[in-house]
Amino acid sequence: MRFSSCLASIVWCALVVASAQAQDPFQVARERQLGPEEKPKAKDDPTKSKDSAKTKDSAKTKDEPEFVRKTDEEWRKILTRDQYWVTRQKGTEPAFSGKYATGHFRGTFYCVGCGSALFSSRHKIDSGTGWPSFWQPVGQKAVVFQADNSALEARVEVECRRCGAHLGHVFGDGPPPTGQRYCINSIALTLKAPDGAAATSAPARATAKTKTKARAKAKTSKSSTTKTSPAPTPDEGKTPEKP
């Protein structure tokens, strides 16, 4: 009798221990605190947020058409008379007449016709030709090139890849690392500055005028003492190169 009661006690203890090992007491306590339907929140995965941002950017890119094609009548309604003449009829604005010809800028230059990104202000150079110049576009697919034999000298025309707008010409006398100079009409561009930043700084034209006045004053004072006239500059009388 005593042996059977001891055996039953041992079996009961073994069953209690086995059930306790199979169940996590801390998990039971958490479930009691949170309730049967509530569960602990999972930690935010930073990779998921990056993937969602990439998905949004790709969706925006897909919404924009790869090419923009319009009739002449439609372009006339969108563009001003001068913009239409330059971008659609391959015209050239007068030297130093464009608002981006001289000066320092911050941001990206977009096509005035379709809004496609073309050039960055970081790649702008002061060529002194009278038209805004860049040593490279924002990307290889931003522009396309066409042979231009309309002038006495054969040139390479630069067009917006997306809408075919005439932008200007590219020459092989640019600075390193490309050695190219994209001579572009200001009227074919529109500048968008970074968020919270000014698009332009003090125009370089005002600085150039100040320097010219200072040089003229220095030459006048020098000629009054030495009684000699200054030599003409080698660029005098030259016609500026068209973009």
| Catalytic entry in 111, 160, 163, 183 | 183
Rounded CA separation 31/29 (Å): 5
Q: What are the pLDDT tens digits along the chain (243 aa)?
A: 555 555 555 555 555 444 444 444 444 445 555 455 554 555 555 555 555 555 554 444 456 678 999 999 999 999 999 999 999 999 999 999 999 999 999 999 999 999 999 999 999 999 999 999 999 999 999 999 999 999 899 999 999 999 999 999 999 999 999 999 999 999 999 999 987 666 665 444 444 444 445 555 555 554 444 443 444 444 444 445 666
Domains of the chain: 72-192 (2.170.150.20)
Task: Specify the pTM.
Answer: 0.59
Encode burial over 137-163: b for 16+ CB neighbours within 10 A, e otherwise. Answer: bbeeebbeeeeeeeeeeebebbbbbbb
- Examine the residue annotation and report whether 183 is marked as an active-site residue of this protein: yes
